Amino acid sequence: MNFLYVGIGGFLGACLRYLATTAMASLAPQFPFGTLLANAAAGFMAGLATGAGREAGLLPEKARLFIVTGFLGGLSTFSTFSLETASMIESGKFVRAGVNVALNLAFCLSFVFAGLFAAKCLFQNAR
């Protein structure tokens, strides 16, 4: 049964990632902002969900499998980010590739910490 929680969550996360990347590509086709958005959002939500579990015990195992492993695993696109960066490097767009790496790292780490902080603020008195 756990397999289904992960699979359904992954399907939904991947669909949302597809929508984000296609929407952002139409707005700014020269840079993979959709991937950056998906990675940052997944980072925040992973921090928030994990923090909610830590601070208030609000994330049962089945919910964690569905949300963190499935949905956020499908939404977060590290392999896509890596492929896009490699393509930029192969195309000689070294500065753009460096900016992509720096932004993804900075945004994703920042958003994970923001999610953890938000969970602590929201749920610190929940136990």
53 pLDDT above the threshold of 90: no
Query: For residue range 6-38, what is the model confidence (pLDDT) as tens digits?
Result: 999 999 999 999 999 999 999 999 999 999 999
The whole-number average pLDDT for the span 67-79 is 90
126 pLDDT above the threshold of 80: no
127 pLDDT above the threshold of 80: no
According to the model, what pLDDT value does residue 120 have?
A: 93
Q: Are the CB atoms for 74 and 11 separated by under 8 Å?
A: yes
- Would you state the structure tokens that stand for residue 61, as one six-digit string? 């195992």
* Residue 34 to residue 72: CA distance in whole angstroms: 15
Query: For residue range 89-120, what is the model confidence (pLDDT) as tens digits?
Result: 999 999 999 999 999 999 999 999 999 999 99
Residue closest to 21 by CA, chosen among 66, 13, 57, 10: 13
Domain-by-domain residue ranges, the chain?
2-123
Tell how many helices (H) and how many strands (E) occur in the chain: 6, 0
3-state SS, residue 1: coil
